Structure 1
Amino acid sequence: MKITKVDVKTVPISSPIRNAYIDFSKMTASAIAITTDVIKDGKPVVGYGFNSNGRYAPTALLNERFIPRLLEADAKDIVTDDGTNFDPHKIHAIIMANEKPGGHGERTVAVGVIDMAIWDAVAKIEGKPLYQLLAEKYGNGEVDEQVYIYAAGGYYFPDKGLKELQDEMKGYLALGYKDVKMKVGGASLKEDLKRIEAVLDILPQGSGLMVDANGRFNLEYAIEFGEKIKDYELIWYEEAGDPLDFHLQAELSKRYPHAIATGENLFSLQDATNLIRYAGMNPEKDFLQFDCALSYGLVEYVRILDMLKEHGWSSRRCIPHGGHQMSLNIAAGLALHGNESYPGVFEPFGGFADNYAVENGYVKLPDAPGIGFEEKSDLYNLLLSIGK
């Protein structure tokens, strides 16, 4: 059992939207195809992977460091002890060899791309959906048959007013979403409050709103903003300040009475551990948004879940960033709270399988081997083009 070929390319996921910090007009992603010598249905098993939105394509790192390490490894060193499948944990150790700890940078994204493709291949070789494989390997074998998802939107567009913002959110509700999220921090406090109130005005009873500042605020402004929005009773107030400013997070947690969410820009076990140790997060009400596709992959994510359990956190407080099928599989298989979704944005990587509609804020997963990319036609067509 061996890997016979690895192909990778950079693809655009550009969009005219912006949040409080960046615009996405030149955003890219790396897409990878790992071909094995395992034959299923008369064809070699191929595992596919890519990185989540918000970080640029790490293609150079993949080509210069991580793919060569994978291809140079002895075949026996990348498979399970019984030789029946590839071992993601062994592969992780091999591609991270000769890497110093700390200063994680963009390598976390590159390793996450490979990790996703390896898990896709592993589940296909097992002939199981990834979510089922994860439930059996790390849980009690039971999966969530449907996963809670919310619609992340409310970006700043040129010439986008309050009515257009309301129409956008109404569109998400019409698609079957119950809860929605919007960006803040890219306008004045006065304007952002008007935007929040405009969305709350059109939400029906039973629906809720989250706000996301994308790390824009300093401590003083984060606290002021929290004071202004506390009576709205939002589902959560997300990433008010720099993701590594645990002091800011801790001080905000003392003052803001409702749920806080953060973690999408923390890309390692150690950074996640420091968040839990020092940021004043509350395991009874707050949410953690680590995205395995940006943070060394599922191998690291499992380590993070183990750490959270040791610190008294339930996996149900985790709701990954990214809005893609990998995170959806993890949510279903590892008993997470749910998953993010970006309706109509960051395509074809965002979104889930074709013909699985969102119903009252939940979505089901296909019973297909692997992550299920083959069930999302526009994405699968792109993945098939890798290496051509």
Structure 2
Amino acid sequence: MKIVEIREKTVAISSPIRNAYIDFSKMTLSLVAVITDVMRDGMPVIGYGFNSNGRYGQGTLMRERFIPRILEADSQALLTDAGDNLDPHKIWAAMFTNEKPGGHGERSVAIGTIDMAIWDAVAKIEDKPLFQLLAERYGNGQPDRKVFVYAAGGYYYPGQDHSKLKDEMRSYIDRGYTVVKKKIGGASLDEDLRRIDSILGVLQDGQKLAVDANGRFDLDTAIAYAKALSQYDLFWYEEPGDPLDFELQATLRNYYDRPMATGEDLFSMQDARNLIRYGGMHPDRDWLQFDCALSYGLVEYLRTLEMLRQHGWSASRCIPHGGHQMSLNIAAGLGLGGNESYPDLFQPYGGFPDAVKVEEGYVTLPDLPGIGFEGKRDLIEEMRKLSA
């Protein structure tokens, strides 16, 4: 049993939208196929992966460093002790060979993307959904296939007015979501408040709005928004300042006592630990958004979950960024609090298998081997082009 080839392709997921910090007009991602010599129904088992939106494709790093390290390693050394499957932890260690600690940068995205494809292959070799495999190996053995999801949208784009913004949010509610998210910080505070009021006029009892500043604010601006946002019962106030400015995050707690969220741009267990140590986050109300596809993959995410447990946090306070099926499987298998969703953006890479519907804010994962990419027709068509 071995990996015989790893392929990467950089693809465009461009869109004329923007948040408070970047536009997505030139956004790309890396699509990866890990081809094994294990045969199922006359075909090789192939694992697929891709990185989340907001970071660009990492093909050069993969092709120059991480893919060669896997292929040059002794194939037997990358298997489980029983020799009956690939071992993601050993493969991760091979990728990290000759890498210094710290300075995580974009290498965490490159490794995380390959790691996703490895886990897809591992679960397919065992002929199990990844969420079931994770529950058996690292959880209580019983996955919860019903996962909370929220609709991420409310971006700024040319020609948008309040009527179009309300129509967008109504469309999410009509599709079964109970929590929606909009961007803030890309307009004035007064205009952002008017946008919030417009959306709240659409929502009904039991439906909530989250807001996301994408790390745009300095402390004074973050405080000004916090004071203004305190009048609303928001689901959360997300990433107000630079992701690594833990002092800003901690200081802001003095001005905002409602739920906050951050972590999508922290790409290692060590950075996540510093947030928990120094960021003033409260495990009874705040949310953590670490995204395995950007932060060295599931192997590292398991380390992060263990760190959280040691610091008194429940995995149920994690709702990952990214809107991809990998995090959905982690949520179902390891008891996370839910997952982000992009109903209309970054397709075909976001979303759920075709038969999955949102019902009262939740989706139920189907019984598909691996991550479940094969259940989403437009996505698996693109993936199979890479592996053909």
TM-score normalized by the length of structure 1: 0.99
Superposition deviation, residue 144 in structure 1 = 1.1
Aligned partner letter, 1:164: K
Equivalent position amino acid for 2:257 in 1: P
Show the counterpart of 1:98: 98
Q: What is aligned with 1:124? A: 124
Aligned partner of residue 294 in structure 1, secondary structure = coil
Aligned to 1:360: 360
Does the CA contact (< 8 Å) of 2:35 and 2:387 recur in 1?
no
Q: How does 1:311-330 map to 2 (within 5 A)?
A: 311-330=311-330
Shift of 1:145: 2.2
Q: Deviations over 1:277-313 (max 9, x none)?
A: 0000000000000000000000000000000000000
Residue identity in the other structure for 1:78 = L
Q: What amino acid sits opposite 1:72 in the alignment?
A: E
Partners of 1:216 and 1:385 lie apart in 2 by 38
1:205 corresponds in structure 2 to 205
Report SS of the residue matched to 2:277: helix
Residue in 2 that maps onto 1:112:
112
Local SS of the residue matching 1:257: coil
Equivalent AA in structure 1 for residue 288 of structure 2: L
SS of corresponding position for 1:234: coil
Secondary structure of the residue aligned to 1:264 is: coil
Residues 176 and 361, structure 2, Cα contact 8 Å, conserved in 1? yes
Aligned partners of 1:182, 1:236: CA distance in 2, in Å?
11
**CA offset digits 1:303-352 (Å, max 9, x no partner):** 00000000000000000000011011011111000000001100010101
Query: CA contact under 8 A between 2:19 and 2:155: conserved in structure 1?
Result: yes
Q: Secondary structure at the match of 1:67?
A: helix
Indicate whether 1:133 and 2:133 are aligned. yes
Residue 294 (1) aligns with residue 294 (2)? yes
Give the 5 Å matches for 1:73-92: 73-92=73-92
Matched-pair contact (CA < 8 Å) for 1:266–1:290: yes
Cα distance between partner residues in 1 of 2:242 and 2:144: 33
- Take 1:308 and 1:254, find their aligned partners in 2: how far apart are those partners? 23
Measured against aligned partners, the alpha-carbon deviations of 1:246-275 in whole angstroms (never above 9, x if no partner) come to 000000112201000000000001000000
Deviation of the 1:192 alpha carbon: 0.4
Which residue of structure 2 lines up, in the alignment, with residue 254 of structure 1? Answer: 254
Structure 2: tracts of 5 or more residues without a match: none
Residue 267 of structure 1 aligns with an amino acid whose one-letter code is F
- How far apart are the structure 1 equivalents of 2:229 and 2:49? 39
CA distance in 2, matches of 1:344, 1:237: 22
SS of the residue corresponding to residue 47 of structure 2 reads strand
Structure 2 residue aligned with 1:65? 65
Classify the secondary structure of the residue corresponding to 1:147. Answer: strand
Measure how far apart 1:180 and its partner are: 0.4
Structure 2 distance, partners of 1:366, 1:62, is 31
1:152-191 → structure 2 map (5 Å cutoff): 152-191=152-191
Give the superposition deviation at 1:159.
1.4
CA contact (8 A) 1:9 1:387 kept: no
The letter for the 1-side match of 2:6 is V
2:227 counterpart of 1:227: yes
Q: What amino acid sits opposite 2:17 in the alignment?
A: I
**Which structure 1 residue ranges, 5 or more long, are not aligned?**
none
In the aligned structure 1, how far is the partner of 2:313 from the partner of 2:6?
38
Aligned equivalent of 1:150: 150
**Whole-Å Cα distance in 2 between the matches of residues 66 and 179 of structure 1?**
38
AA in 1 matched with 2:171? G
* Contact 2:131-2:330 at 8 Å conserved across structures: yes
**C-alpha distance in 2 between matches for 1:114 and 1:145:** 25
8 Å Cα contact 1:349/1:379 also seen in 2: yes
- Give secondary structure in 1 for the equivalent of 2:16: coil
Contact preservation (8 Å) 1:4, 1:35: yes
Give distance in 2, aligned partners of 1:189 and 1:344: 26
CA distance in 2, matches of 1:76, 1:294: 28
After superposition, residues 22-37 of structure 1 pair within 5 angstroms as: 22-37=22-37
Aligned residues of 1:8 and 1:387 also touching (Cα < 8 A): no
Could you tell me the TM-score, scaled by structure 2's length? 0.99
Runs of 4+ in 1 over 2 A off after TM superposition: none
Deviation at 1:387, TM superposition (A): 5.1
Equivalent position SS for 1:386: helix
Distance, in Å, in 2 between the alignment partners of 1:254 and 1:313 is: 21
Which position in structure 2 is the counterpart of 1:19?
19
Partner-residue secondary structure (3-state), 1:277? helix
Aligned-partner Cα distance in 2 for 1:309–1:128: 27
Question: Deviation per CA, 1:23-60, whole angstroms, max 9, x where unpaired?
Answer: 00110000011110111111110000110000000000
Aligned to 1:303, what secondary structure does the other structure show? Answer: helix
Q: Distance in 2 between matches of 1:116 and 1:253?
A: 35
Any conservation in 1 of the 2:214–2:240 contact (CA below 8 Å)? yes
| CA-to-aligned-CA distance 1:80-105 (integer Å, 9 cap, x gap) | 00100000001111100100111111
Taking the aligned partners of 1:367 and 1:178, their CA distance within structure 2 comes to 25
Counterpart residue identity of residue 257, structure 1: D
Residue aligned with 1:202, SS = coil
Give the corresponding residue for 1:8. Answer: 8
**Does 1:214 pair with 2:230?**
no
Q: How does 1:232-311 map to 2 (within 5 A)?
A: 232-311=232-311
**DSSP-derived class of the 1:250 partner:** helix
